Chain A
Amino acid sequence: MSSGRGGCDRIKGMIAMDVALGAMTLSVCAAACVCSVLLLVGYNTIDTACRDAARAAGTADSTSAAMAAGLLACSSHRTDGFWLSQPKLDQSSFRFAQAMASVAPYVSTTTSCKIRLPALRIALQSDLDSVSIRRQYVFPAIALIQQTPTVTAIDLSSLIGPNNIAVPDVSGVIPGVGNSYSADTSE
């Protein structure tokens, strides 16, 4: 009996250990997966936000307009706000080239966001549970491209030929005079 009961206990213990070990392993794996997914999603989010901000800022023709366009584009990328903070356009590192001498004036945008990682929170048991990631893109400031064509003056007089001049046609009868005469073009 005791031998049988001991075997049963051993089996139960082994099952319990199986479950405990499996759960632990799964938890670690799950946490690693969640963290990885959060990191990848976060990276993709600020990558896309940074691209859109760069594109938007690149169409502007002044620093303020470019900044406004970049901020607007960045804010359009919504996140949950807890695990993944709202992407921010780093205004201190924002660059808008005003130098018209260059053939490639550019705008440089940097976005950043914080990703909260559950594994860090569990492991560290503190608020230091997030990582900050940044992304930078450079885009041409299209409106400032030096080579954009300019209009060249055209002499309007060369287009106004004899047939294009608005002159009065007064030949014929003058109403009310009572007789007619040909006055050519004179009055």
Chain B
Amino acid sequence: MRSSFQRWVIVAPPGKRSGRQSERGAAIILYWAFGLFLLLPLGLATFEVWRYVTASSQLQFDLDAAALCGTANLLRQHNSQGVAAIETNAITAAELILNRNTVLGTTLVCRGTTLDSVPPVHSLSAGQVALNATFVDSNRAPIQPGEDGVKGLRLTAEYGYKPFCGPFIGLGCLPIQVTSEGGIPPIDLVLCFDVSASMDDGTNITTVERFWDGAAVAYQVPQSGSGNLLNVVKPAVDGTKVNVVGPENLSMLSSPLNQGTLYFSESQSSPIKGLRARVSGLPPLELGAPPGNFNPANPNSTYINGHDPASSGNAVTDLVVNLDGNSSFGGWTDPSTGLQFPNVQTLVEAARGNLNTYESMQQSLAMGNVQPAWLPVTAPNAMYQNVYFARAQQLAQPLAAAKVAAIEILRALDQNTVLHAGLVSFSDYIGSDPGSTWGSGAGATTYFIDSNWVPGGTGNFPLPLVPLDAGQPNIIGLLKNLPSADSWLCPPAFAQAGGGGGGGASSIAQLISTLVATGRSNVSAALNEAIAELTNPAMCRPDAEKVILLISDGKPDAPGGSITAAQDCYAAAKNAARQGIKIVAIDVATTSDTNHEAFLEQVATLSKGYYISGSTQAQLNVALQKILTQLVALR
């Protein structure tokens, strides 16, 4: 007996089927036909589509990886390689990455790369990839291979896709074409540069007590009076307030915060006061301008102005920078002018300006017909004081290293992207324009040596602020001539005005070179100014990466105390993160202090930026790599 199933599926002979059975048989045939010829193909088609989409997606990722690798290889240092060699490396790197990847489990085989502006159509076998590379400029427009100005790499890959059902329906390979473009976005960068007093604490100096010994001007270096400024002054915490060039603030030698025993003669009461020179009271006035505590009316007296120099062994009248850079001065000759600085005496007199003319030299040294034996043969010379201070500024550490770091990083960034830069220098506060000076703020001084030694003269110590300018043109051409270029990184309006701190400097590079250390460290003011500029649509570009380059040597101590100041900085760093601004903090401190390291690292971390310790060339390279490689992105 047949089951109902058998009756359904076994087609009965014609004429023996009931009408209902015929309908049922037809229905089941349709049912299976539907299943076999519609649902199955539909399922297969769905799978085929999914497979194609997956293959396209995987190929896109593989090509993105190749484009990123190729673009990263386009980054280069100034004039290090020819453009053609760099481009060859980029393509090689892209191919290597592509060949290591897979699509649907099959390793890709790159059969070569063309450099056509329009990717050609290939006939590819399954799994093969044909790559086409196009180099683009900052506007993403194609440029010819070997041409300068490459800012990105556009890759087009054509892949031979073999459909799963291809063999059954006689379908060959289908092409999948995807495109990926890597590049470095334009960068809007504000350089926050610390010029607080501790920024020259790593300088090797000599402190000197200059006095008249009854026969000639004598020079006495106090015990432990030479070496690293930090070690000479011995501050208990943080850095010193004493500086190696003006404003020297020599009174701060005897600050209660220091553990050293030295003191500035003119910050003491009489009779030690007056050791540097007698400027008050009755004649006789000193010769020179003024020369020191020499009493021409009684030249044989060792008790000038009622004071015996021998009884004040820790008194300091002068602080000079060891122009040879060593902790103990051994002599130095300026290579460009030939001026000789064979001894500490020359340093002291050159810094005072006494070697500029014969008259000032004769008067200040109370010279008769016989010159002191230590006097160099190149004296007098009108350049002595300038050469001394120019060299002293170059040796003021870590300030000088920070200057070089800032300029080098800006130059390297500009080489590889379209850079717009601003400058915010800070100490107790920040400036307001490129010509701002430190002495114009509340509590600031303009005295070059010390407020207790007015005859030491005055100075306008630069605290420039160069605002970011969204409309500033590409500056890459100007940078190629560094360091001789005068208009480097300079907003056109400022260049035309000819302004600038420190004597009319007219570029950021030159403004940086003029900076001297003084005052406290108000990091938060600089960060807030930088954030304001980087979020101001009139000052920044909407498509640019926003970066703050913070170069500092330690913890802030303004406004308020160090704790309040640090909290302000953390708040600013969090605000920067919210605005998509990364802070790259470069720590140039000369000492290893976990407090300031932790502070700068925290600021960088809170902003999702980077912290780099040190200012050596190798450490700067790490900073640069972190900035640049993290910016390499797909467009």
- A: residues with CB less than 8 A from B are 10, 13-14, 17, 21, 25, 29, 36, 40, 43-44, 47, 51, 54, 58-59, 102-104, 106, 108, 136-140, 142-143, 145-170, 174-177, 179, 181, 183-187
> When A160-B390, A185-B353 are in contact, do A154 and B449 touch as well, CB less than 8 Å?
no
Chain B residue at minimal CB-CB distance from A148: B625
Contact among B57, B66, B76 for A147, CB-based, below 8 A: B76
- Whether the Cβ atoms of A147 and B75 lie closer than 8 Å is yes
In this complex, which of A10, A139, A140, A158 has the most chain B Cβ atoms within 10 angstroms of its Cβ? Answer: A140
- Whether the Cβ atoms of B408 and A143 lie closer than 8 Å is no
Whole-angstrom distance between the alpha carbons of A169 and B279 in the complex? 17
Contact among B57, B72, B352 for A187, CB-based, below 8 A: B352
- Whether the Cβ atoms of B289 and A21 lie closer than 8 Å is no
> When A174-B455, A177-B285 are in contact, do A140 and B516 touch as well, CB less than 8 Å?
no
Chain A residue at minimal CB-CB distance from B395: A156
- Whether the Cβ atoms of B385 and A185 lie closer than 8 Å is yes
> When A142-B68, A167-B389 are in contact, do A149 and B416 touch as well, CB less than 8 Å?
yes
Q: B478 to nearest A CB, angstroms?
A: 14
> When A103-B92, A136-B102, A149-B412 are in contact, do A174 and B385 touch as well, CB less than 8 Å?
no
For B66, what are the chain A residues with a Cβ–Cβ distance below 8 Å?
A: 140
For A139, what are the chain B residues with a Cβ–Cβ distance below 8 Å?
A: 65, 68, 97
For A146, what are the chain B residues with a Cβ–Cβ distance below 8 Å?
A: 73
Contact among A17, A138, A157 for B5, CB-based, below 8 A: A17
- Whether the Cβ atoms of A152 and B78 lie closer than 8 Å is yes
New A-B contacts (5) at CB < 8 Å, excluding given A165-B386, A168-B449: A14-B8, A150-B77, A151-B624, A166-B393, A183-B360
Chain A residue at minimal CB-CB distance from B74: A147
B404 at the interface (CB under 8 A from A): yes
Whole-angstrom distance between the alpha carbons of A142 and B64 in the complex? 13
Contact among B78, B245, B400, B448 for A149, CB-based, below 8 A: B78
- Whether the Cβ atoms of B246 and A145 lie closer than 8 Å is no
Interface string of B84-100 (1 = CB under 8 A from A): 00100100111011001
Chain B residue at minimal CB-CB distance from A145: B72
- Whether the Cβ atoms of B390 and A159 lie closer than 8 Å is no
Whole-angstrom distance between the alpha carbons of A186 and B354 in the complex? 5
B122 at the interface (CB under 8 A from A): no
Contact among B4, B75, B454 for A175, CB-based, below 8 A: B454
B407 at the interface (CB under 8 A from A): yes
What are the nearest 3 A-B pairs in CB distance? A168-B457, A170-B457, A163-B503
Contact among A29, A36, A40, A187 for B353, CB-based, below 8 A: A187
Whole-angstrom distance between the alpha carbons of A59 and B72 in the complex? 12
- Whether the Cβ atoms of A148 and B628 lie closer than 8 Å is yes
Whole-angstrom distance between the alpha carbons of A54 and B412 in the complex? 28
> When A147-B73, A165-B390, A187-B456 are in contact, do A153 and B97 touch as well, CB less than 8 Å?
no
- Whether the Cβ atoms of A154 and B408 lie closer than 8 Å is yes
Contact among A44, A154, A167 for B407, CB-based, below 8 A: A154
Chain A residue at minimal CB-CB distance from B446: A169
- Whether the Cβ atoms of B510 and A142 lie closer than 8 Å is no
> When A40-B50, A108-B100 are in contact, do A151 and B620 touch as well, CB less than 8 Å?
yes
For B43, what are the chain A residues with a Cβ–Cβ distance below 8 Å?
A: 36
B211 at the interface (CB under 8 A from A): no
- Whether the Cβ atoms of B448 and A168 lie closer than 8 Å is yes
Contact among A149, A158, A162 for B628, CB-based, below 8 A: A149
Whole-angstrom distance between the alpha carbons of A166 and B246 in the complex? 7
- Whether the Cβ atoms of A104 and B69 lie closer than 8 Å is yes
Contact among B459, B509, B628 for A169, CB-based, below 8 A: B459
For B35, what are the chain A residues with a Cβ–Cβ distance below 8 Å?
A: 25
Whole-angstrom distance between the alpha carbons of A164 and B482 in the complex? 17
- Whether the Cβ atoms of B393 and A165 lie closer than 8 Å is yes
B113 at the interface (CB under 8 A from A): no
Whole-angstrom distance between the alpha carbons of A155 and B69 in the complex? 33
Whole-angstrom distance between the alpha carbons of A6 and B361 in the complex? 140
B115 at the interface (CB under 8 A from A): no
Contact among A164, A174, A184 for B514, CB-based, below 8 A: A164
- Whether the Cβ atoms of B483 and A159 lie closer than 8 Å is yes
> When A17-B5, A158-B483, A174-B279 are in contact, do A145 and B73 touch as well, CB less than 8 Å?
yes
- Whether the Cβ atoms of B621 and A150 lie closer than 8 Å is yes
- Whether the Cβ atoms of B68 and A140 lie closer than 8 Å is yes
Interface string of B43-76 (1 = CB under 8 A from A): 1000100100010011001100110110011111
For B393, what are the chain A residues with a Cβ–Cβ distance below 8 Å?
A: 160, 165-166
| 21 A/B residue pairs, CB under 8 Å, sorted by A | A14-B4, A17-B3, A103-B89, A106-B96, A136-B102, A140-B66, A142-B72, A143-B626, A149-B77, A150-B617, A150-B621, A151-B405, A153-B408, A154-B411, A154-B483, A157-B391, A164-B505, A166-B502, A167-B353, A179-B285, A187-B364
B521 at the interface (CB under 8 A from A): no
- Whether the Cβ atoms of B621 and A151 lie closer than 8 Å is yes
> When A148-B72, A186-B352 are in contact, do A154 and B482 touch as well, CB less than 8 Å?
yes
Whole-angstrom distance between the alpha carbons of A138 and B88 in the complex? 21
Whole-angstrom distance between the alpha carbons of A163 and B360 in the complex? 23
Which chain B residues (477-514) contact chain A, with CB distance < 8 Å?
Answer: 482-484, 502-505, 509-510, 512-514
Chain B residue at minimal CB-CB distance from A103: B93
B300 at the interface (CB under 8 A from A): no
- Whether the Cβ atoms of A186 and B360 lie closer than 8 Å is yes
Chain B residue at minimal CB-CB distance from A170: B457
In this complex, which of A13, A54, A151, A153 has the most chain B Cβ atoms within 10 angstroms of its Cβ? Answer: A151
> When A106-B97, A164-B502 are in contact, do A151 and B412 touch as well, CB less than 8 Å?
yes
Chain B residue at minimal CB-CB distance from A187: B352
- Whether the Cβ atoms of B513 and A164 lie closer than 8 Å is yes
B271 at the interface (CB under 8 A from A): no
For B620, what are the chain A residues with a Cβ–Cβ distance below 8 Å?
A: 151
Q: B285 to nearest A CB, angstroms?
A: 7
B562 at the interface (CB under 8 A from A): no
For A140, what are the chain B residues with a Cβ–Cβ distance below 8 Å?
A: 65-66, 68-69, 72, 93, 97
Whole-angstrom distance between the alpha carbons of A143 and B631 in the complex? 11
- Whether the Cβ atoms of A186 and B364 lie closer than 8 Å is yes
For A164, what are the chain B residues with a Cβ–Cβ distance below 8 Å?
A: 502-503, 505, 510, 513-514
Q: B436 to nearest A CB, angstroms?
A: 15
Whole-angstrom distance between the alpha carbons of A46 and B66 in the complex? 21
> When A140-B65, A168-B246, A186-B289 are in contact, do A44 and B54 touch as well, CB less than 8 Å?
yes
B356 at the interface (CB under 8 A from A): yes
Q: A127 to nearest B CB, angstroms?
A: 27
For B357, what are the chain A residues with a Cβ–Cβ distance below 8 Å?
A: 184, 186
Whole-angstrom distance between the alpha carbons of A166 and B625 in the complex? 34
- Whether the Cβ atoms of A149 and B80 lie closer than 8 Å is yes
- Whether the Cβ atoms of A170 and B404 lie closer than 8 Å is no
In this complex, which of A51, A150, A181 has the most chain B Cβ atoms within 10 angstroms of its Cβ? Answer: A150
Which chain B residues (429-454) contact chain A, with CB distance < 8 Å?
Answer: 448-449, 454
